[in-house]
Amino acid sequence: MGYKSIEEINEKIKKGKAVVVTAEEIIDLVAEKGVSQAAREVDVITTATFGPMCSSGAFLNFGHSDPPIRMSKVWLNDVPAYAGIAAVDAYIGATELSATRGMEYGGAHVIEDLIAGRDVKLHAESYGTDCYPLREITTYINKDNINQAFMFNPRNVYQNYNAATNASDRTMYTYMGTLLPHCGNVTYTTSGQLSPLMNDPYYRTIGIGTRVFLGGAEGYVAWEGTQHNPDQKRGENGVPLAAAGTLALIGNLKEMSTEFVRAAVFEKYGVTLFIGVGIPIPALDEDVVEKASVSDSELFTDIVDKSGQMGVVGSASYQQLRSGYVELMGKKIPTAPLSSLRKAREIAQLLKKKISRGEFLLTAPVAPLPMHNKVNKLEVRRPRNED
Amino acid sequence: MKIKVYMSFPADKVTKPVTYHLIKDFDLRINILNADVSLNKEGRLVADFEGDEANIREGLGFLEREGIRYKLFNKSIIWQEDKCVHCGACTAVCPSGALQMDKHDWSLTFDKEKCYVCELCVKACPLKVMSV
């Protein structure tokens, strides 16, 4: 049964009268008052995550020099950016490594430097054309002297993610952190009961066009994320039991803050970007509220052996993972998080405050995220169109 | 006076009651921080020694005579807390339990007393806020 529409909720937000709680606070509220009462009382539930998201980057437009150059190769602080688009457009990917410093500095650091307002060295080369005669340029840019800088992340906000361990006899250095031999530890990386898509498992309120908090600025869901996998196995509560849906996000980098966007280096793996994302869920009806009141004890994920020897070695609830230990093959194994729950909570509270003050309005999806999608494997084969 | 000592025992010395002698013969207060000792294998022990300076010196002399190699910790881990995002990646590798997540507010906590400066966190920290 529907209680309120997004328009009605936005009217309350504008009047400063909306009741906003976080996806953790709703758990206690539902336990205390029941789903029906909670759904009547609450208008918005805020979710958040702050974790390493490799599939991130930013589009930049540098403006034209005089004489102009059709930048075909671009480096920012010696980190290559993709320039195979229009003359002075480029895309700086988070995981790209510095051509001179290797793994200690990469695209993520360039992004953090830009957000911090620091000058970044731009070097570009070209083959020279009649309309763009200049062949080389070196200068300094920052977020205020370039035209556009918008983050576009092809895959963020994973709906659940597999926890990792290592059954081999040597230490592994991975994007899931340092994994000790003989299943010496387990790492996990979601904010569980606070995580956006865990609280809206069937993408009822989160879809294309949804306004979100992205790295300190307002952003939007642009599309389904790459490797979006809504067909993943699900529990009785509808929440996927392993890595599933994803979101492609877009937002104005110039308005972001280094409080919520931080460059990172995983030892012997490479560079990545920690990003803070917050997504509000409109408490439309009992179904939405019930799904958003899910707690860590009801959320499970697979534990995968990253050495590839054993595949999925077990499953654990986020309550177990958060306890500090999980039982795996008869052994008690210490667990460690990789995404910051403290920062995620900070974002959920900040978004709650913004909505309560009338500074952040909700949106209905312009189009829904796909509910079915085949995730293909890459096969090594001959072309089919070759006879 | 208090010092932090890393000791490594050759396999044939593992059965020797070293801590007993340090306490009994040199009046030292020994606080074992980490131990990895098993029969017929090289052993490893990290401990705080507390006592008179002279007694500590004699205790270390005793270790030398017994053929036990030791090194003193004169370095310490520096945690730039203001730059930390409290992700928890360092806790995945910390063998001493010095780095732990606070289970209530999910902040990183660092107990310098427990740390024996193995430096694993320096490499494991994605934000590079740990150094020696």
Distance CA A225, CA A302 (A): 21
Residue B31 or A263, more confident: A263
pLDDT band at A290 (very low <50, low <70, confident <90, very high): very high
Fold for the domain defined by B2-72: Alpha-Beta Plaits (3.30.70)
Looking at the fold, whether A266 and A162 belong to one and the same domain comes out as yes
- The count of other CB atoms within 10 Å of the CB of residue A148 is 15
Print burial letters for A117-139: b (CB count within 10 Å at least 16), e (below 16): eeebebbbbbeeeeebebeebee
Q: End of a domain among A90, A122, A146?
A: A146
Instruction: Kindly state whether B37 is in contact with chain A, defined as any CB-CB distance less than 8 angstroms.
Output: no
pLDDT in tens, A361-378: 999 999 999 999 989 999
Instruction: Kindly state whether A50 is in contact with chain B, defined as any CB-CB distance less than 8 angstroms.
Output: yes
Q: Is residue A1's pLDDT more than 60?
A: no
Domain span at A305: 6-53+153-356
pLDDT band at A387 (very low <50, low <70, confident <90, very high): low
Provide the pLDDT for residue B75: 84
Q: Could you tell me what percent of chain A has a pLDDT over 70?
A: 99
A363 located within any domain: no
B63 to chain A nearest CA, in Å?
Answer: 32
Is the CB of residue A316 less than 8 Å from the CB of residue A303?
Answer: yes
Average pLDDT on A41-45 reads 98
Smallest CA-to-CA distance from A276 within A208, A321, A224, A339 is with A339
Q: End of a domain among A97, A116, A146?
A: A146
Whether A54 sits among the annotated catalytic residues: the reply is no
Average pLDDT on B105-124 reads 93
Is the CB of residue A196 less than 8 Å from the CB of residue A53?
Answer: no
Provide the pLDDT for residue B38: 75
Instruction: Kindly state whether B127 is in contact with chain A, defined as any CB-CB distance less than 8 angstroms.
Output: yes
Average pLDDT on A186-214 reads 98
pLDDT band at B14 (very low <50, low <70, confident <90, very high): confident
Q: End of a domain among A101, A118, A146?
A: A146
Extract the tokens encoding A287: 């179904």
Instruction: Kindly state whether B91 is in contact with chain A, defined as any CB-CB distance less than 8 angstroms.
Output: yes
Are B2-72 and B78-131 equal in CATH topology? yes
* DSSP result, chain B: -EEEEEEEE-GGGTTS-HHHHHHHHH--EEEEEEEE--TTS-EEEEEEEES-HHHHHHHHHHHHHTT-EEEE-----EE-GGG-----GGGGT-SSS-EEE-TTT--EEE-TTT-----HHHHH-TT--EE-
Looking at the fold, whether A173 and A227 belong to one and the same domain comes out as yes
Extract the tokens encoding A365: 């999806």
Integer Rg of chain A from CA: 22
Q: Is residue A216's pLDDT more than 70?
A: yes
Distance CA A139, CA A81 (A): 15
- Contact flag B85-A336 (C-beta cutoff 8 Å): no
Q: Is residue A386's pLDDT more than 80?
A: no
Measured CA to CA in angstroms, residue A125 lies from A128, A306, B53, B113 at distances of 9, 40, 66, 54
Looking at the fold, whether A20 and A139 belong to one and the same domain comes out as no
pLDDT band at A8 (very low <50, low <70, confident <90, very high): very high
Q: Which residues of A touch B85 (CB under 8 A)?
A: 50, 262, 274, 340, 342-343
pLDDT band at A14 (very low <50, low <70, confident <90, very high): very high
A307 located within any domain: yes
- Contact flag B85-A266 (C-beta cutoff 8 Å): no
**Closest residue on chain A to B108 (Cα):** A342
Looking at the fold, whether A45 and A68 belong to one and the same domain comes out as no
* DSSP result, A43-72: -EEEEEEEEE-SS-EEEEE----SS-B--S
Looking at the fold, whether A114 and A219 belong to one and the same domain comes out as no
Looking at the fold, whether A270 and A207 belong to one and the same domain comes out as yes
A234 to chain B nearest CA, in Å?
Answer: 27
Average pLDDT on A53-75 reads 98
Q: Which residues of B touch A187 (CB under 8 A)?
A: 89, 92
Looking at the fold, whether A42 and A111 belong to one and the same domain comes out as no
A106 located within any domain: yes
Distance CA A210, CA A48 (A): 14
Q: Give me the catalytic one of A131, A236, A372, A380.
A: A131
pLDDT in tens, B21-73: 999 999 999 998 888 877 777 888 888 899 999 999 999 999 999 889 998 88
B122 to chain A nearest CA, in Å?
Answer: 10
A365 located within any domain: no
Average pLDDT on A320-335 reads 95
Q: Where are the domains of chain B?
A: 2-72, 78-131
Looking at the fold, whether A201 and A315 belong to one and the same domain comes out as yes
Looking at the fold, whether A319 and A194 belong to one and the same domain comes out as yes
The structure tokens 């002698």 sit at B21
Looking at the fold, whether A240 and A345 belong to one and the same domain comes out as yes
Report the phi/psi class of residue A350: left, alpha or beta, with left for phi > 0 and alpha for psi in -120 to 50: alpha
- Contact flag A177-B92 (C-beta cutoff 8 Å): yes
Whether the complex's predicted ipTM is more than 0.90 is answered with: yes
For chain A, what is the domain count?
A: 2
Is the CB of residue A272 less than 8 Å from the CB of residue A138?
Answer: no
Q: Which long-range contacts (CB under 8 A, 24 or more apart) does A243-246 make?
A: A243/A158, A243/A159, A243/A160, A243/A161, A243/A162, A244/A158, A244/A159, A244/A160, A244/A197, A245/A158, A245/A159, A245/A197, A245/A203, A245/A369, A246/A155, A246/A156, A246/A157, A246/A158, A246/A159
Looking at the fold, whether A69 and A205 belong to one and the same domain comes out as no
**Closest residue on chain B to A325 (Cα):** B92
In this structure, CATH architecture of domain B78-131: 2-Layer Sandwich (3.30)
Provide the pLDDT for residue A209: 98
- Contact flag A185-B92 (C-beta cutoff 8 Å): yes
pLDDT in tens, A104-161: 999 999 999 999 999 999 999 999 999 999 999 999 999 999 999 999 999 999 999 9
Distance CA A177, CA A172 (A): 8
Average pLDDT on A234-261 reads 97
pLDDT in tens, A86-102: 999 999 999 999 999 99
Instruction: Kindly state whether B92 is in contact with chain A, defined as any CB-CB distance less than 8 angstroms.
Output: yes
Looking at the fold, whether A256 and A188 belong to one and the same domain comes out as yes
B26 to chain A nearest CA, in Å?
Answer: 37
